[in-house]
Amino acid sequence: MQWSAPRNDGPSQAAGNTTGNTFIMSDIQYVAPRTLDEAIGAYAAAGSAARILAGGTDLLVQMRSGAVKPGLIVDIKKIGEMTAIEETKDGGFRVGAAVSGMALHDHPRFGKVWPGVLEAINLIGSKQVQGRASAGGNLCNASPAGDSVPALVAAGAVVTVAGPQGRRELKVEEVPAGPGRTNLKPGEIVVAFTLLPRPKGASDAYLRMIPRTEMDIAVVGCGVNLTMKGGVCTDARVGLGAVAPTVLLVEAAAKALIGSKLDEKALEAAARACSAACRPIDDKRGTIVYRTKVAGVLLRRATAIAAKRAQER
């Protein structure tokens, strides 16, 4: 494959004034805009032929296998807003959709405040993959087994999306529509995740079941986010992955935990609620029965870790 660069025609003109590089690679064009407006312009103008490139750890694999053949690639890694991690004065976070797992890991505060979200993102692939892969890509790839998604759902993260019609906000769980499909409108790009400030005594955890020790796809993934006060759970959110066509927010499990001291009765009810929410597929990686059972087991274990962390905050 040969790259010829730079050229001034093609999608960069469609965007109006794309200042990033434009490359032509056989029948694929590549632009790397410096601003979100330019990215939206190029992406929207090219229609369904275009693909956003964040880390490329899903996209390039799909292109290589021939599953995806984009006419235009819009690289968002050079856009400041999408690669920034910002801690607000009140202790909330705004994480750009294209921030890599490694950049998030290296942030001095993020992992202290959101250890469960960080451990979920840092489970993605290897060190090499971590250097590129983003939570935005994990979400928009829309695999039900994406590791960061249950943790972000449990965290109550809000997704800012921008497109030709302007900006809007969605809950994380509203973004996936089914395996490989999202509810984003044509030309829309995920810009950032917002995580609210946490009260004292709040923490989170993410666990996944994989048949190997690493570099595998979750058979079940479970994110738990808790607030504890005087030994009592005052708030909870539970996200479950790889057990349904999209990642699930399991409100019944959270309800079982809230108001309890996370005693056996509450944990059993929450575990049952997780198992009841499962609508998994049966495949070589895990049967329906197995995934359904493991969902409850992971709920118990992730809850224990989140509760211990919450005590320490």
Ligand X SMILES: Cc1cc2nc3c(=O)[nH]c(=O)nc-3n(C[C@H](O)[C@H](O)[C@H](O)COP(=O)(O)OP(=O)(O)OC[C@H]3O[C@@H](n4cnc5c(N)ncnc54)[C@H](O)[C@@H]3O)c2cc1C
Give the residue, chosen from 95, 132, 193, 292, that forms a contact with ligand X under the rule CB under 6 A.
132
Give the residue, chosen from 122, 138, 203, 225, that forms a contact with ligand X under the rule CB under 6 A.
138
Taking the C-alpha atoms of 158, 248, 312 and 131 in order, what is their torsion angle to the nearest 10 degrees?
-70
Closest among 266, 277, 273, 272 to 307, alpha carbons compared: 266
Tell me if 58 contacts ligand X by CB under 6 A: yes
Query: Over the range 48-58, which residues count as b (16 or more CB within 10 Å of their CB) and which as e?
Result: eebbbbbbbbb
Give the C-alpha separation, 97 to 40, whole Å: 14
Tell me if 146 contacts ligand X by CB under 6 A: yes
Residue nearer to ligand X on the CB measure, 190 or 207: 190
Tell me if 140 contacts ligand X by CB under 6 A: yes
Distant-in-sequence, close-in-space partners of 280: CB < 8 Å, separation ≥ 6: 220, 242, 243, 244, 286, 288, 291, 292
Residue nearer to ligand X on the CB measure, 192 or 271: 192
Give the residue, chosen from 24, 84, 129, 269, that forms a contact with ligand X under the rule CB under 6 A.
129
Give the C-alpha separation, 192 to 41, whole Å: 18
Tell me if 116 contacts ligand X by CB under 6 A: no
Give the C-alpha separation, 20 to 35, whole Å: 9
Q: What is the number of H-type helices and E-type strands within the chain?
A: 12, 16
Give the residue, chosen from 46, 99, 189, 224, that forms a contact with ligand X under the rule CB under 6 A.
189
Give the residue, chosen from 42, 117, 118, 124, that forms a contact with ligand X under the rule CB under 6 A.
124
Residue nearer to ligand X on the CB measure, 83 or 227: 83
Neighbour-count burial of 31, counting CB atoms closer than 10 A to its CB (0-12 exposed, 13-18 middle, 19+ buried)? buried
Residue nearer to ligand X on the CB measure, 82 or 236: 82
Tell me if 203 contacts ligand X by CB under 6 A: no
Segment interacting with ligand X (CB under 6 A) among 27-35, 132-140, 232-240, 275-283: 132-140
Residue nearest to ligand X (CB): 137
Any idea which residue has 């959270």 for tokens? 254
Query: The tokens of 294 are what?
Result: 């493991």
CB of 46 to ligand X, least distance (A): 12
Segment interacting with ligand X (CB under 6 A) among 49-57, 107-115, 232-240, 283-291: 49-57
Tell me if 151 contacts ligand X by CB under 6 A: no
Rule CB under 6 A: which of 220-279 touch ligand X?
A: none
Q: What is the 3-state secondary structure (H, E, C) of 242-310?
A: CCCCCCEECHHHHHHHCCCCCCHHHHHHHHHHHHHHCCCCCECCECHHHHHHHHHHHHHHHHHHHHHHH
CB of 261 to ligand X, least distance (A): 33
Give the residue, chosen from 20, 115, 136, 223, that forms a contact with ligand X under the rule CB under 6 A.
136
Residue nearer to ligand X on the CB measure, 103 or 236: 103
- Using CB under 6 A, list all residues that contact ligand X: 51-59, 61, 76, 97, 123-125, 129, 132-134, 136-138, 140-141, 146-147, 189-190, 215
